[in-house]
C-alpha cells in the first residue's frame, strides 16, 4: 500500500497538505456519516486505511508537529448498548440483515404492544430497505412517544441530516428563503447533533 496514494497526495506534499488531505477524507468517511447505513462496514474499512496511511506517513517523516493524531477520528461504529429492549430478536435480525424476518415479527406485535421502540425498529427495518420516507415517519413517531430516548433521537437526527442535501456548500434556491436566522439555527442544530454523537474533534 502506498500511503500517499491512499490520501491522494503527491509524495512531495508538505505536512500541512497531507494533514488537510487526511482531514478531508476523514470527514468524508467519518463513521457518523454512515450510522445505520448498510454500507457502514465498508466505510469503516476505508477509514481504517486512511488512518493507517496517515500514521505511516507521519512515522516516515518523523515529524513531531504532525505526529500521529489520527485516533482523533477513530469513532466507533454504532454498536450502542441497550440497557433494556423488548425486541432482542428483532434487533439481532436487523443486525444480520434479515429484514423480512424482522418485519414479520414486528408486524405480529399487537397494537397494544407497539411502544416507542417498536416504531423505532420499524423505522430501522425500512431504513435498511431503502424506504426512506417510511423510516422517517416511524422515527418521528418513536421520538414523539419517547422524546427523551437518546437512541431514537440520534436516529431521527441522522435521518434529518440526510434529508438536506447540499454537498456543494451553497444553496442554489432563492425562493426557499434562507435568512441569516436560518443559518444560525442550522449551525446550532448541527452543533447539538455533534454533541449528540459524542462530539468530534472538529467543534
Partner 1 sequence: MFGYVTVDKSEMLGKDFEAYKAIYCSLCKQLGKDYSFLTRFILSYDCTFYAVIALSLEDSCYGFCSGKCKFNPLKKCNYIKSGEEALSKAAALSIVSVYYKLKDNIADGSFFEKLLCYLMMPFFSHWRKKALKKYPEIEKAVAKMSLAQFEVEKDKSCSIDKAAEPTANMLSDVLTLLVDDDDEKSGQKRRVLSSFGYFLGKWIYLIDAANDFEDDLKKGCFNPYIIAYGNDKALHLSDINSSLDHCLSECLLSYNLLEIKHFNRIVDNVLIYGLPKKQKSILYKEKELKHGE
Q: Using CB under 8 A as the criterion, which residues of the chain lie in contact with partner 1 when the complex forms?
A: 28-29, 33-34, 37-39, 42-43, 46, 126, 129-134, 136, 159, 161-168, 172-176
Q: Which is nearer to partner 1, 176 or 180 (CB)?
A: 176
Task: Count CB neighbours of 8 within 10 A.
Answer: 13
Smallest gap from residue 45 Cβ to partner 1 (A)? 8
Q: Which is nearer to partner 1, 100 or 133 (CB)?
A: 133
Q: What does the chain come to in residues?
A: 203
Smallest gap from residue 85 Cβ to partner 1 (A)? 26
Q: Nearest to residue 44, comparing CAs of 31, 53, 54?
A: 31
Q: Which is nearer to partner 1, 65 or 174 (CB)?
A: 174
Smallest gap from residue 82 Cβ to partner 1 (A)? 25
Sequence-separated (6 or more) residues with CB below 8 Å from residue 63: 15
C-alpha span between 193 and 137 (Å, rounded): 19
Q: Which is nearer to partner 1, 169 or 198 (CB)?
A: 169
Q: Which three cell numbers stand for residue 95?
A: 443486525
Q: Which is nearer to partner 1, 24 or 59 (CB)?
A: 24
Q: Which is nearer to partner 1, 16 or 42 (CB)?
A: 42
Smallest gap from residue 11 Cβ to partner 1 (A)? 21
Smallest gap from residue 39 Cβ to partner 1 (A)? 6
Smallest gap from residue 37 Cβ to partner 1 (A)? 6
- Let me know: does 117 contact 87? Beta carbons within 8 Å: yes
First to last CA, the chain: 32
Amino acid at each position: 500500500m502506498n500511503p500517499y496514494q491512499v490520501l491522494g497526495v503527491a509524495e512531495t506534499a508538505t505536512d500541512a497538505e497531507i494533514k488537510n488531505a487526511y482531514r478531508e477524507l476523514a470527514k468524508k468517511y467519518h463513521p457518523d456519516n454512515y450510522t445505520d447505513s448498510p454500507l457502514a462496514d465498508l466505510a469503516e474499512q476505508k477509514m481504517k486505511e486512511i488512518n493507517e496511511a496517515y500514521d505511516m506517513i507521519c512515522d516516515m517523516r518523523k515529524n513531531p508537529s504532525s505526529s500521529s493524531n489520527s485516533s482523533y477520528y477513530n469513532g466507533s461504529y454504532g454498536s450502542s448498548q441497550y440497557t433494556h429492549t423488548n425486541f432482542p430478536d428483532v434487533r439481532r435480525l436487523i443486525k444480520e440483515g434479515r429484514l423480512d424476518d424482522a418485519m414479520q415479527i414486528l408486524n405480529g406485535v399487537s397494537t397494544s404492544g407497539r411502544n416507542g421502540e417498536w416504531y423505532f425498529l420499524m423505522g430501522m427495518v425500512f431504513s435498511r430497505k431503502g424506504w426512506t420516507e417510511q423510516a422517517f415517519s416511524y422515527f418521528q413517531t418513536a421520538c414523539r412517544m419517547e422524546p427523551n430516548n437518546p437512541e431514537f433521537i440520534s436516529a431521527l437526527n441522522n435521518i434529518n441530516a440526510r434529508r438536506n442535501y447540499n454537498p456543494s456548500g451553497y444553496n442554489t434556491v432563492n425562493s426557499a428563503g434562507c435568512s441569516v436566522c436560518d443559518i444560525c439555527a442550522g449551525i446550532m442544530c448541527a452543533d447539538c447533533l455533534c454533541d449528540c454523537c459524542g462530539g468530534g474533534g472538529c467543534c
